[in-house]
Every structure is written in C-alpha cells, then in structure tokens.
Amino acid sequence: MRCSRPLQPEISDLIVDYEPATLARRDVARDTVLAALAGRARSIASAIPHTGGLLDRRAVDGILVRSHLELQRLHEEFRVGEMMKGLLGPLLALVRAATRERPIRLVDLGCGMGFVVRWLAARGQLGEDVELVGADYNLALVRAAQRLADDERLPCRFVAANAFRLEQPAHVVMSTGVLHHFRGDALPAVFADHDRSGALAFLHADIRPSKLAPLGAWIFHQARMREPLARFDGYWSAVRAHSADDLRAAVPAAFQLAMLDARPGIAGLLRIFQVAIGSRTGDLRAAYAPYGRRLS
C-alpha cells in the first residue's frame, strides 16, 4: 500500500499530547517540540510560554482557540457549511434506507471548535432524525465548541473522545480538513477504525492537493490570519494534503468509495477541497450522480 511520505509536521500536532487509552492530557516538553521543528516553525513554537521545560497548557489552549476562530472565518468565506450540507443529503438518504435506527448519528471526527457541526445544527436542515455530534481529543476545543453551541441554543453536542469509541456509535463519520493530519500508516488505520466501528458511511473533505494549493494557502493564511501558528499550519496543511490515490488506497473494501473534485484540471482551480465519500450500503454512485464529472 502506498502511503504519504512524512513532511514537516504542523505545530498544532506537536504542542498537545494525550494518553492513548484515557485521552487524559499529558504535559509536553518544550525541548521535544523544538527538536521536531526547524526554521520559522521552531521560532513560532519557541515563543509559546513554558514553565519548568513544559509548555503552558493554558497558553497552548489560547493559541489553539484563536487559531480555530480564524480557521472558522476561512470556512465561512469558503462556505464550507453549505458544501457539507449539500454533500450530506444523498449520504443520509442512503443511511436512512439502510437502517431503522433513529436518530441517525452524524459524528464530526476531529471537530475542533465544531464550526461545521454548529453550522449544520443552525442551518443544515438535515432532518429531525439526525443527531449532530462533534468529537475531538482536545478538551479545551470541545468545551469552547459546546459553549458556542449553548450560547446559540444549537441542537448539537461535543465530546472529548475518540470518534470511533463513542457509547452510541456513529452511523456517519465526517470531517473537514482533518485527514492530512493522519500520516503514513495512520491513514489506513483511521479508515480501518471506520470499518471496525460499524459506521455505515463517511464523508471527509480535505484540501485538494495541487501545485497551486500551497501558494493559495500561503496567500490566504497571510491575508486572513493573525496567529503565527495558524499561518504556518495553514500553509503546511496544503502541502501535506493527501492525493486521491493515497485516499483510495487507504479505504477498506467494505466501503464503496467515490471521490469528488479529485480530478486534475482547470475547473479544479476553483475548488479547494476534494471529498472522499464512502458507504457500505445502497448505490453510492447513483446517489451522487447529479455531481456528474466531478465524481471519480
């Protein structure tokens, strides 16, 4: 199986750490972070407050919350909520036809501050039978997401948990801008988790790799973001985006797979995301037939 090569890590992947079994947060040694980074990334990380050689958790949380607020702005500009709403419709129809269980649980893997879940709760109109859940390892982001949802009385909830080990498992797993964080063997492993968890379908949107994507990401993150970490990670997320072939190779045979906007070409210049859509049930390609040649 061909997997993505290792690249410069994103700083946000290094400055928080969790106990794998319990997800309890672990201290992060500043020297460990700095040793993994070079150049500008090292300079950004070295500015994070620290005590006794350990990164200050509250300062790290502040950086991540500010970065996610700025990321939400980009998602608003690119109308990611609308995009996900449109794409989820056919998938939910397949799932409704395949199971009598209600509600249909739609879980956002690595939801961060839960913009997509909250947007869908506010404006998605996915149906009364759909339960919206955001899952992320980062308790600070999960709490911020829940607070924002409560402020606006949105019908969704957020949990600090592994999205594949929820008490009430997901029928559909989705994500936005998350897949590129899974490097090497972690990418097929996360899709194997989909299979093991019993999820009926998935929909993962991530940055569409192209020669222009890093330049576009650099321009946008310089123009729109204030937080140095967000600028750096935003650029590298475009560099680290998985190719469609890598994604295809990582998905277990139990799922039908369709890739949206993965074809190279001029039209693709206007599409910053490619989307991996998978389903165990129904005729996936027929469900997405209206997308025509955008599907591959």
Binding site for other proteins (CB under 8 A): 25, 57-58, 61-62, 65-66, 68-70, 72-73, 77-79, 82-83, 86, 113, 115, 118-119, 122-123, 139-140, 143-144, 147-148, 151-152, 154, 216, 219-220, 222-226, 270-272
How does DSSP assign 244-292, residue by residue?
A: HHHHHHHS-TTSEEEEES-S-SSGGGG--EEEEEEESSS-HHHHTGGGG
Name the residue nearer to other proteins (CB basis): 75 or 280. 75
257 phi/psi in degrees, rounded to 5: -130, 135
Beta strands in 33-72 (DSSP E): 50-51, 54-55
Name the residue nearer to other proteins (CB basis): 91 or 230. 230
- What is the number of alpha carbons within 13 Å of residue 9 lying toward its C-beta? 16
Name the residue nearer to other proteins (CB basis): 5 or 211. 211
Name the residue nearer to other proteins (CB basis): 200 or 207. 207
Q: How far is the CB of 174 from other proteins (least distance, A)?
A: 17
Contact 244, 270 (CB under 8 A): no
d(CA 180, CA 32): 22
DSSP secondary structure letter of residue 12:
H
Name the residue nearer to other proteins (CB basis): 69 or 192. 69
Q: How far is the CB of 266 from other proteins (least distance, A)?
A: 12
What tokens were used for 114?
Answer: 């839960």
Report the candidate in 240, 282, 269 with the shortest Cα–Cα distance to residue 8.
240
Q: How far is the CB of 77 from other proteins (least distance, A)?
A: 5
Cα angle, residue 226 at apex, residues 137 and 118 outer, rounded to 5°:
45
Q: How far is the CB of 61 from other proteins (least distance, A)?
A: 5
- Amino acid type, 288: Y
Q: How far is the CB of 132 from other proteins (least distance, A)?
A: 13
Q: How far is the CB of 83 from other proteins (least distance, A)?
A: 8
Name the residue nearer to other proteins (CB basis): 1 or 270. 270
